[in-house]
Structures are given as structure tokens and as C-alpha cells.
Structure 1
Amino acid sequence: MNALQLEIARFLAWKAIAKKRTTYQELAEAIGWPHPTGRGLGKNLYAVLHYMHDKRLPPLTTILVRKGHRYPDDDALDYIREAIGAVDIADAQENVFQYDWGSIQELRAVADDLPGGRAIWRSSFRKQVDAGDAGSHAFLLKFNGELHGPGGVSRPIDPRDWDDQVLSMPWDSPRASSWTDKSPGPQVVAGDVLYLWANEEEAFGSGLGLTGIAKAKDAHLKDGVLEILLAELALLKSPFGFRSLGATGWNSTVLDRINEDRSPRAWAMKPDEQAEIDELILSYGSRKSDAISSLELQHLSPLDRALSDDRDAVLAAEEERKTTTVKARPEQQKFREAAMLRHGGRCVVTGFTPPTVLEAAHVIPHTGNPAFEVPENSLILRRDVHSLFDAGMIAINPKSGLIVVSSELKATAYRKLDGKSVMHKLAPESLSYQFRRFKKASL
């Protein structure tokens, strides 16, 4: 299935989990199809149906009906029977409703990454309980990712960047936690639901806005900082903030408040305010419209945009380069020549110049995306330093421009590199990326 067909299948799986049929109009609205009645979706539905059949899964498209009907119309039935053979539609629909769609990883939507799937997120996570009960509250946490985020990470690429890690919220003011009327709010405790908003401004961490949802596994106040251990983290497929929301506005009292007051704070949310954020997640966090994407392109650099679009490919490339040697690719020589020219033909860390021991390193790994095949995403490194760099054991501090080495290297000859100033000539996005990897590997 292509991206659109996968989105169709996810929507139908979500409906199946709720044991509800859906209409072409609902599907068209959910996936942003240009025709409001879903006209023209046939070939995509046919592809979804074949995918289900090939995987030996129940036929999801049988729960897609015209408004007011219980079963697909004759034309749709012809397609269904052509793809999967003779079938009793009532039985097929019942099989769809009874199947555990949450067990199919590729069909899980944004919130379904939480254990238990969307049903848990919509019930257990959204349940209305008496105020004051432990674990009863939902918070939107606004924080500086570099200062307060787990491992100093503002823009997590992998859930492991934040999940089961500690978020350090400043808690030394009378209103470290507030309700939206600015009255003092409760303290975060184990079991509370946390909506994680990393400040977007460059001076305050360069985050992506609303980035994920988690539960507080534990919370302890220490020296004016509330240390919150995150658990059950779900990263939004498409994080969003004020830059993207500015195109269409937002219907959220909580966002009104954090737009007025950009300081770090835990905003306690009432059920209706949480529902407003949930609606924004369904609109923006699962899929970006063309208008939103165009707006964000005005603010994101090509490297940042490629990192967002190719997140899965970047993660796969990171895992691969931990265990394999540098691959020879047709375009590698061109990349090497540009990198050698940019860095004066010498290792930026050691100063070595013999070409036979020098390698051109991708800082953000090679995925095939041309945005990463640029000199400002390159370093020239001696072969051994390149290996350590790829393993996250050596990095360049973005703020100081100094080399940092991992604790494992402090007892080796590489300790002499620690604190050394380098002229790296990296793009800011590449420099930040490699330092996040280093800090993550050091945890």
C-alpha cells in the first residue's frame, strides 16, 4: 500500500476497533480526500482489500457503506468478491469487528502507540475522575527541550529518546502548575497523563511544539525541580506548534494561555480542555494538510524537513552504521570530494592529512535523501575517529564548538581529544543532531 492507502486502512481499523461502520463521507473527511463523497477512492480501496486478503486479515473495506446502509452497495460488493471470492457480508463485517486490529503495527494510528491502543487512550486516558485523586489529572507540559527534556533532547526521533527517561520541570515558583484561569494547579503525580510541548523558539530549545503524550511513571521534587519519569510514550506522527497552527488558528483555551505566557509550566487541563487538544492531535498530529506543510516549509530548513520526513529511514540507517563498515556507493566519491574541499583535506578532529586514512562522514546518515548529501552535513575524519563518531562516543558540543568524548574513552588515548576546539563547518541542524545522538548514547 502507498501512504494514502495506508491512511485509509488505519482509519477503517480505528472504526473496526470501535465496532462501527463508516461512510464514504467520513472516510473522505478523515484522509483529506478532495471529493466530499469519496468519489474516486475505488482503486485505493481495492488496493486495501487486496492487502488485507494477501495478509490473511479480515476484509476491512466491508464496513465502508453508504450513509444509512448496513452493507456495501452492489458495485462495492462486486469488487470485494472479485478480490476475495464468495463471501457472506454480514459474517465478513463481524469478523472485522472481532479482530484485534491493535496487534497490527502498521495499522496503528497516532495515539495507538500507547499500550492498549486508541480504545485505552479514549477511555482510560480520558476518564473523568474526581479532582484530587492520585493520577487523575491531565497536563500540558511546556518546557525547554535542551534544558528540561530527557537527555537534553528537544526533537526526539525515536520514542526511546524520551520514553522511560526523566523530564526535569522547573518547580520553584508558586505557579509552576496552573489551571487555565491562572490559579495554582496540582502537582504532577504517578498516573497523570502528560501532553509534551517542547518550546519551538530557538532561544528556548528549538523544539517542535506538541510532540508526544506519556504517562507519569514517577515524580519527585528535588531542589526546585520536579523530576518526572515518563512512561508509555507515544510520539505524534506530525508534531505541531504555533507556526503551523497559525495558518488556521486553534480552538484551545490551554494554547491561548501558553501563547500568552511562553515560560515553562505545567498547565492542568479540565476534561473539555483536554478534548480540545485531542481534536487538534487528530487534525494535525496524525496528518499534515498541504497548507500546513507549505507553511512549515517557510520555517524549516531542508535538513530539518528531511529529518522529519525521513525519520524511519534515518533510524534504520543509524542502526545499520553501528554494525557495518562504510559502504561504497556511486555518489560517495562526489560526496567525499566536496567534503575534502570543504574541510581542507584534513581530519577536523586530529588534523591528519594522509588521504588513505581519511573518510567522509555523513553526520545525519545516508538514506538516499539528497538533502543529506550536502557538504554542510559532512565531516572529514580519520578512520578510527569516524568509527567512534558513528558509535556516538565522540561529538562536537554545538554551543562551545569543543570536542566531547564518552566516559568509556576517558581511560584511553582518546581522552586527549576532550575539550579540543574544532572548525567543523557543519549546518546547525547536523551539529544538533550529532550531539543529541552522543547524549543519548551516554545515558
Structure 2
Amino acid sequence: MNELQLEISRFLAARAREGRLATYQELAAAVRWPHPTGRGIGNNLYVVLTYVHELQLPPLTTILVKKGERYPSRDALTYIREVTGEIDIPEAQGRVFAYDWGSHPEFRLITDELPGGPELWQQSLKGPSFTDIAGRGKTFLLKFNGELNGPQGIARPQEVGDWDDQVLRMPWRVPRASSLSDKSPGPHLAVGDILYLWVHEDEEFGFGQGLTGIAKAKRITSAVDELHIQLGDLALLKRPFGFRHLSEGFLESGVLKKLKDDPRPRAWNLSNEERIKLDQIITEMCSRGSASLEAAELAHLSVLERALNEHHDEVIDAERKRKTAIAKARPEQWKFREQAMERHGGRCVVTGASIAAVLDAAHVIPHTGNDEFEVPENSLVLRRDIHALFDACLIAINPKSARLVLAPELASSPYRELAGRTIHHKLASAPLVFQYTRFKRANS
């Protein structure tokens, strides 16, 4: 599902949890659909219904009705029964209301009591939302090296599961628990505190994307020079942003100014005023069609980086298909292969093999149908068995060292001799980071 379809799912799941039907007008307002009566939204509802049906969940869209009605209209029933077969609608609605939608992260509720309010969370964040804000604690902005200290060593999470319920190892090498915006000592972090997660953008400090997500501190334990923070109820920004995106006007917040000037990892304790200011920046930078973010991306991001942000859900879906070997060959693939072979001298970048019959032109960011990914700088030439290992996340190229890394299960295989080999690739940075991130996630 894309982001709009996820928003539709969450809205309907929220209504189901309340035991209430939803109208098309209410849905259109909730997801900012251009037609106030929801006209034209049917294709998205079909995707949602198919998705829950494949997961063997109750037919969520059966609780969506016309105003004043109790059951879906005749047209809606046609597509519902096309997916589910003949079902009893009152019984199906009962199953929707009785089901615990909060047990699935993608269906968790967005409430009116979240930091920043529902508008911020609906427009700017993806993933589960906090379901229990009563008595929430302090708020911190954590800046850290994603590769060294991020959950699972992932600096650029692509899915909520990359970080949610995982441990952030926050450096703790100064005699203070946190810092206020004037750098004076702040309070200790505690379970239940709200954490804004900022991953250092510089390549030497983890190559993150700046402000990346918001979570709760689920569990905290002390270690030597580190604080281990288990993240809970994580939500990722739909469009992460860092200092290269922010104009001087956004840096009026005392904490952000200090954050930019001080490269060291640190936990900044936010005042209520500072948190509100940060929420306003998130809303401005991450809402759909944000002129500020789009202008910054045009100035600073490569075509591949922008495409990866814009088509994130399609990339993840293509990646899933690639892992399950259901991606199909395409008629235009010869052109991509021809360009890749020319770019890499007709040789496997790992083994040096040059027999064309055993070589593949591999997409690093998988093919989604978008032309932005059909470019030579998203290609590798790989011997067929190496290509299979690459797609299965059993080998990868370290973005910093350009050395080949192997999954633990290959340690006793003949492929172990490839470990540490320098790869003279010609990849752009976006696909290089993408492939290494998925490798680390698969082998954590």
C-alpha cells in the first residue's frame, strides 16, 4: 500500500476500534481527498480491502458507508464481494469492530493527544502512533551517529521495523544526563519520555538524514559510556530532513542552532516551547507538496535520492518481490544491461568474470517501473550466483570502505574468500547506502 492507502486504513481502523461506521465525507476530510464526498477514491479502497484480505483480517472497508446508511452501497458491495466472495455484511462488520487493529503496527491509531496534534502526525509521519499518551514524560531531541549507535546499526531506516522495538546505544561520555539549549545540565531520560531522533548527516558521522523519527523510550539501561534505549511506538518521518534543507529562519529555535554548531552526539532536553517550534518545522517540511523541502531537495539531492524518497513504498514492494523471486523480466531490460555492461567493462565487479552468458545487470535499488531507477549509476554487473547472493542480502558493499561484506551464514562457504575484497563499483551514493542498509537489517 502507498501512504494514502495506509492513511485510509488507519482512519477506518480507528473507527472500528471505536465501534463506529465511517462515511465517505469523513474519510475524504481525514485523508484530504480532493473531492469532499470521496468520489474517485474507490481504487484505493480496493487496494486496502485486498491487503487486509491477503493478511486474513476482517474486511475493513465494510464499515465505510454513505451518509445515513448502515451498510455499503450496491456498487461498494460489488468490489467487496469480488475480493472476499459472498459474505454476510452485518457479520463482517461485527468482525471488523471486534478485531484488535492495534495489534498490527500499520493500523495503529492516530489520536488527538499526540505531540504536535493529529495534523502533524497524519501529514508528516508514517508508522504506528502512540496509543497511550496519558501521563507522558519529558521530551528530548537525540543526535547520534546512525552507523555506530543507531538501532541495528541502521542510519537510514526504510521501514518502521528497522528501528521500532530496537535499541539505540546513545553515547554517554559527559558528566550530565542531558543538555538544555544553553548547554547547562538537563534531566535524566526515563521510560515513557518522548524522543525526537536526529541522525548525523555527515558521511563520517553515520551518513543519516537528520530528523528521521519520533519514538517513546520503552526501556533504558546503562552500559559503559552508553545509555541503551529501547524504542517503542516509533513513527518515521515521511520525508526526513536535515540542516541542508533548513533555511536560517528555521534555526531560530535555540536547540536547533546548538545542534548544528555542535557535531557531538548529545541528548537535548526540549522545553514545551521548543518542542512546539520543532513540530511546526516538521509540519512545514514534511507535509505533502512542501515547497520548502522540495526546493531544498532540488538543490542538494541527486535524482536517485529524490526518486528513492518519492517512490519509497514502491521500492519496498519491489524489494519484497525480488526476495521472493516473483519479479519478471522486462522487454526494455536489454537497454539497462547494455549500459551496465559498458559502464563496468563487461566484467563482474566482484569476481572479474567476463563471460557474458553468466553475467547479469543488477538493479541495486530494485526496478519499480519508474524511469529514475533505470540509470547506469543504479547498476552493477554481477556473475549470476553473486547476483543471487546480493538480492538475498547475503553480500553487500560497505559504503565507506567499498569492501565486500558477507552474511554470517557464508562464513564457512567457498564465498568466504570474497570477504574484504575492494569493489571498484560505479554506484551513486543513494543505491549504495540503500543496499548496505537492507543487508544490515537482514543480518542483525
Q: Check whether the contact 2:109–2:129 (CA below 8 A) recurs between aligned residues.
A: no
Q: Which residue number in structure 2 is paired with residue 143 of structure 1? A: 144
Q: Which residue number in structure 1 is paired with residue 388 of structure 2? A: 387
Q: Which residue number in structure 2 is paired with residue 437 of structure 1? A: 438
SS in structure 2 opposite 1:242?
A: coil
Alignment partner of 1:296 is 2:297: yes
Identity %: 49
Give the number of the structure whose alpha-carbon radius of gyration is greater: 1
Kindly report which structure 2 residues correspond to 1:97-246, keeping only aligned pairs within 5 A, or say none: 105=107, 109=122, 110=124, 113-115=127-129, 120=132, 123-124=133-134, 127=135, 136-175=137-176, 177-246=178-247
Cα 1:139–1:217 shift into 2, 3 Å: same
Deviates more, 1:48-57 or 1:289-298: 48-57
SS in structure 2 opposite 1:297?
A: helix
Q: Check whether the contact 1:151–1:440 (CA below 8 A) recurs between aligned residues.
A: yes
Q: Check whether the contact 1:363–1:378 (CA below 8 A) recurs between aligned residues.
A: yes
Q: Check whether the contact 2:125–2:235 (CA below 8 A) recurs between aligned residues.
A: yes
Cα 1:111–1:436 shift into 2, 3 Å: closer
Q: Check whether the contact 2:13–2:108 (CA below 8 A) recurs between aligned residues.
A: no
SS in structure 1 opposite 2:263?
A: coil
Q: What do you get for the CA RMSD once the two structures are aligned?
A: 4.0
TM normalised by structure 2 equals: 0.74
Displacement after TM superposition at 1:247 (Å): 7.1
Q: Which residue number in structure 1 is paired with residue 428 of structure 2? A: 427
Cα 1:353–1:58 shift into 2, 3 Å: closer
Alignment partner of 1:405 is 2:406: yes
Q: Deviations over 1:395-433 (max 9, x none)?
A: 112222221111100111010111122211111222222
The residue type equivalent to 2:241 in the other structure is F
Structure 1: how far apart are the matches of 2:225 and 2:296?
38
Q: Which residue number in structure 2 is paired with residue 396 of structure 1? A: 397
Q: Check whether the contact 1:159–1:234 (CA below 8 A) recurs between aligned residues.
A: yes
Q: Which residue number in structure 2 is paired with residue 320 of structure 1? A: 321
Q: Check whether the contact 2:5–2:45 (CA below 8 A) recurs between aligned residues.
A: no
5+ residue gaps, structure 2? 50-60, 77-96, 111-121
Displacement after TM superposition at 1:283 (Å): 3.4
Structure 1: how far apart are the matches of 2:443 and 2:416?
15
SS in structure 1 opposite 2:339?
A: helix
Displacement after TM superposition at 1:325 (Å): 6.0
Structure 1: how far apart are the matches of 2:353 and 2:9?
54
Kindly report which structure 2 residues correspond to 1:1-20, keeping only aligned pairs within 5 A, or say none: none
The residue type equivalent to 1:163 in the other structure is D
Cα 1:287–1:60 shift into 2, 3 Å: farther
Q: Deviations over 1:269-319 (max 9, x none)?
A: 233332332333333334341343122211111111111111111111111
The residue type equivalent to 2:317 in the other structure is A
Q: Which residue number in structure 1 is paired with residue 257 of structure 2? A: 256
Cα 1:61–1:258 shift into 2, 3 Å: farther
Structure 1: how far apart are the matches of 2:422 and 2:246?
40
Q: Check whether the contact 1:170–1:176 (CA below 8 A) recurs between aligned residues.
A: no
Structure 1: how far apart are the matches of 2:366 and 2:373?
7
Q: How many residues align?
A: 388
Q: Which residue number in structure 2 is paired with residue 343 of structure 1? A: 344
Structure 2: how far apart are the matches of 1:376 and 1:314?
16
Structure 1: how far apart are the matches of 2:257 and 2:192?
26
Structure 2: how far apart are the matches of 1:5 and 1:435?
28
Q: Which residue number in structure 1 is paired with residue 85 of structure 2? A: none
The residue type equivalent to 1:426 in the other structure is L
Cα 1:17–1:46 shift into 2, 3 Å: farther
The residue type equivalent to 2:366 in the other structure is P
SS in structure 1 opposite 2:415?
A: helix
Q: Deviations over 1:195-233 (max 9, x none)?
A: 101122334323222111111222222221212222221
5+ residue gaps, structure 1? 34-40, 63-80, 85-97, 129-135
Q: Check whether the contact 1:186–1:268 (CA below 8 A) recurs between aligned residues.
A: yes
Displacement after TM superposition at 1:162 (Å): 1.3
Cα 1:415–1:49 shift into 2, 3 Å: closer
Cα 1:188–1:398 shift into 2, 3 Å: same
Q: Which residue number in structure 2 is paired with residue 354 of structure 1? A: 355
Q: Check whether the contact 2:109–2:130 (CA below 8 A) recurs between aligned residues.
A: no
Cα 1:47–1:208 shift into 2, 3 Å: same
Displacement after TM superposition at 1:157 (Å): 0.8
Q: Check whether the contact 1:169–1:226 (CA below 8 A) recurs between aligned residues.
A: yes
Q: Which residue number in structure 1 is paired with residue 58 of structure 2? A: none
Q: Check whether the contact 2:403–2:423 (CA below 8 A) recurs between aligned residues.
A: yes
Structure 2: how far apart are the matches of 1:50 and 1:311?
20
Cα 1:152–1:51 shift into 2, 3 Å: closer
Q: Check whether the contact 1:190–1:217 (CA below 8 A) recurs between aligned residues.
A: yes
SS in structure 1 opposite 2:305?
A: helix
Structure 1: how far apart are the matches of 2:42 and 2:351?
57
Displacement after TM superposition at 1:366 (Å): 0.8
TM normalised by structure 1 equals: 0.75
Structure 2: how far apart are the matches of 1:12 and 1:274?
30
Q: Which residue number in structure 1 is paired with residue 88 of structure 2? A: none
Structure 1: how far apart are the matches of 2:231 and 2:108?
24
Cα 1:183–1:99 shift into 2, 3 Å: farther
Structure 2: how far apart are the matches of 1:4 and 1:348?
39
SS in structure 2 opposite 1:243?
A: coil
Cα 1:412–1:316 shift into 2, 3 Å: same
Cα 1:370–1:203 shift into 2, 3 Å: same
Q: Which residue number in structure 2 is paired with residue 372 of structure 1? A: 373
Structure 2: how far apart are the matches of 1:44 and 1:295?
35
Q: Deviations over 1:31-66 (max 9, x none)?
A: 6x9xxxxxxx5567544599889944456999xxxx
The residue type equivalent to 2:127 in the other structure is D
Q: Which residue number in structure 2 is paired with residue 93 of structure 1? A: none
Deviates more, 1:335-344 or 1:199-208: 199-208
Q: Check whether the contact 2:125–2:238 (CA below 8 A) recurs between aligned residues.
A: no
